[in-house]
Amino acid sequence: MPREVGRQYKEILKKYIDSQSEEDLYVGQQFSRRFIEKQIAPEDVISIHKTALLELLPDLRDEVWISMDFLIEMMIHYGLTLREHQSLIRKQEILQMEMNVATKVQDTLLQTTSPNVKGLDVGWVSQPAHQMNGDYVYFLNENQHVASVAVADVMGKGIPAALCMSMIKFGMDGLEKGDTDPRAVLDIINRIVEKSVDNSMFISMFYGKYDARSSTFSYSSAGHEPALYFNAASGTFMELNAKGLLLGIKTDVVYEEHAVQMQDGDFIAMMTDGVTETRTEEGFIESESIQQLLESVRDQSAQKMAEHLYNELAGLQEYRLGDDFTIVIFKKNPEEV
Amino acid sequence: MSYRSSVEIYTEWDIVAARQLGRNEAKKTGFGTVDQARITTAISELARNIYLYAGKGKIEIERISENGAFGIKIIASDEGPGISDLRKVMEDGYSTSGGLGAGMPGVKRLMDEFKVVSEPGVGTTITAKKWLH
């Protein structure tokens, strides 16, 4: 086959030498694709050129032929580099395919269902900045009166973060029958993470538990962003802080636990730093701006509120998220009688 | 028909001698200009690896024939530190990114057959063949 290519190359070259027209150059350029299609190395192209020239202009000076041999020598490494790149591209395609599968596995693995508790409206959005999400939301619906949520942020992104989250998820799954008070949950998860993850991986987590019988929301935090509590009666926001070290640093951590009593129309927004550290041209977004955005849609459903905040903040960043973005809203509605 | 000759590698000049020997043998075997250049480049890379990483070693070149096919065999051997992770050195982009040349995958591509035997602390022997097509 290369012989056939060589014959055609000679014809095209001859035409060009005779006419030097743009048309022949165009034909030549089209023909060069065949070299690439047939994976003919650059050094072979020079050799084909030399062979063609030997037949077309056999009387050229010896120095010309010698220089062509030199050029062949020069092209060997180009040829190798080209083939190396081609093989790396194939490898990358395989990796990309594996990533796509991994993302699907992650989605299935980390699926969680919004809890169903009378008088509590739950809404949430979690959007990864890259292909795999380093934020994690997990709902627990212990019984018809109690709904809990864990919002976690694995520092570092991509595959290592995703692997880490699977571990948290299985830790949470094991909780169903145990103590589900926020400080106890963080204590257990902290021990699991400390045992299984190396020290370079940091995880922050906010855990909140709503009990409809007393309308109380109790919470603990492992170095996570404070949640925002909106008091509908006074129209004011309050930060829900609770002291506690990031997960996985040491085993004996005491996590604080606090509680607020929710009234109708009150809501609590739990977020990751992808929300609070939204970057605009003027720098980080102000906490007041987030509060204003939430308050402006306080009469809508919790899901609409979460989506509104996401759309507004993502819009500010022209939909190029700098970090994984997660918000969960618990809103107390009047119970229908 | 089997004819073997060798070059000891101590200095950078010995790399040139090994190249020259390889090119002559490749020409005698009947390889064309491009394949001569490929075989020479492979020898050059192997000799350079010996010079850089083992300090000294040997390049042997042999014209070979098997089942009516003719070709050339290169044996590069040294008693250097050896290669602890063979899979890694055979990976694309491993040695080339540091600008060290074509690396092992490059030599493998230039030739038709390629085999490495290496033991850390004992040395490395690389055998590569190319056949006339």
Q: Residue B73 sits in a domain of what CATH number? A: 3.30.565.10
Say whether pLDDT at B99 is over 50. no
Kindly determine whether residue B32 and residue A47, on different chains, have CB atoms separated by under 8 Å. Answer: yes
B-chain residues near A43 (CB < 8 A)? 34, 37-38
> In degrees rounded to 5, what are phi and psi of residue B126?
-115, 130
CB contact under 8 Å between B109 and A91, yes or no, is no
pLDDT at position A133: 81
pLDDT of B104? 87
Chain A residues in contact with B109 by the CB 8 A cut-off are 80, 83-84
Do the Cβ atoms of B109 and A80 come within 8 Å? Answer: yes
- Report the residue from A76, A83, A87 with minimal CB separation from B37: A76
User: What's the confidence (pLDDT) of residue A232?
Assistant: 94
Taking the C-alpha atoms of residue A120 and residue A211, their distance in angstroms, rounded to an integer, is 9
- Its domain, for residue B36, covers 3-131
CB atoms within 10 A of CB A282: 8
CA distances from A165 to A253, A293, A321, B129 (A): 20, 30, 20, 50
Q: What is the pLDDT of residue B97?
A: 44
pLDDT at B101: 53
For an interface test with A, the pick among B16, B31, B34 (most A C-beta atoms closer than 10 Å) comes out as B34
Most A CBs within 10 Å: which of B19, B33, B109, as the mutation test of the A interface? B33
Distance from CA of A323 to the nearest CA of B (A): 30
Minimal Cα distance from B36: which residue of A?
A73
**DSSP secondary structure letter of residue A174:** T
Look at residues A293, A288, A300, A334 and name the one whose alpha carbon lies nearest to residue A315.
A293
- Sketch the domain layout of chain A as residue ranges: 2-103, 113-332
Quick one: fold of A113-332?
A: Phosphatase 2c; domain 1 (3.60.40)
DSSP character at residue A136: E
Distance from CA of B106 to the nearest CA of A (A): 6
Alpha-carbon distance A282 to A285, whole Å? 8
Q: For residues B44 and A235, give the distance between their C-alpha atoms in angstroms, rounded to a whole number.
A: 79
Cβ separation A72–B37 shorter than 8 A? yes
Q: Which residue of A has its CA nearest to B109?
A: A80
pLDDT per residue as tens, chain A (337 positions):
578 899 999 999 999 999 999 999 999 999 999 898 888 999 999 999 999 999 999 999 999 999 999 999 999 989 998 888 989 999 999 998 988 888 888 888 888 999 999 899 999 999 888 777 888 999 998 889 999 999 999 886 667 777 788 888 888 888 766 778 999 999 999 988 888 777 677 899 999 999 999 999 999 999 999 999 999 999 999 999 999 999 988 888 999 999 999 999 999 999 998 888 877 777 777 788 899 999 999 999 999 999 999 999 888 887 778 788 999 999 998 865 4
Of B38, B93, B105, the CB nearest to A76: B38
How far is Cα B77 from Cα B126, in angstroms, rounded to an integer? 6
A-B contacts at Cβ under 8 angstroms: 42
Mark A222-250 as b/e (b = at least 16 C-beta within 10 Å): bbbbbbbbbebeeeebeebebebbbbbee
Q: How many CB atoms lie within 10 A of CB B60?
A: 16
Q: Which of B38, B41, B96 sits opposite A84 (nearest CB)?
A: B96
8 Å CB contact of A43 and B110: no
- Please name the member of B33, B40, B105 whose beta carbon is closest to the beta carbon of A84: B105
Helices (H), B1-133: 12-29, 33-49, 86-89, 103-110
pLDDT on residue A318: 78
pLDDT of residue A102: 84
Report the C-alpha gap between B66 and A27 in whole angstroms. Answer: 44
Q: For the segment B19-78, what is each residue's pLDDT rounded down to a tens digit? A: 999 999 999 999 999 999 999 999 999 999 999 989 999 999 999 999 999 999 999 999
Q: Do A76 and B110 touch (CB under 8 A)?
A: yes
Question: How far is residue B63's CA from residue B22's CA, in Å, rounded to a whole number?
Answer: 10
Q: Which residue of chain B is at minimal alpha-carbon distance from A46? A: B34
Highest CATH level, class, for A2-103: mainly alpha
CB B93 to CB A76 under 8 A?
no
- What mean pLDDT comes out for the span B11-16? 95
Contact B41 A77 (CB under 8 A): yes
> How long, in residues, is chain B?
133
C-alpha distance from B122 to closest chain A C-alpha (Å): 30
Using an 8 Å CB-CB cutoff, list residues of chain A that contact chain B. 43-44, 46-47, 50, 69, 72-73, 76-77, 80-81, 83-84, 87-88, 91
The residues, ordered by sequence, that sit 6+ positions from A26 with a Cβ below 8 Å of its Cβ are: none
- Per-residue model confidence (pLDDT) at position A336: 56
- Looking at the complex, report in whole angstroms how far the Cα of residue A5 sits from the nearest Cα belonging to chain B: 16
Tally the domains of chain B.
Answer: 1
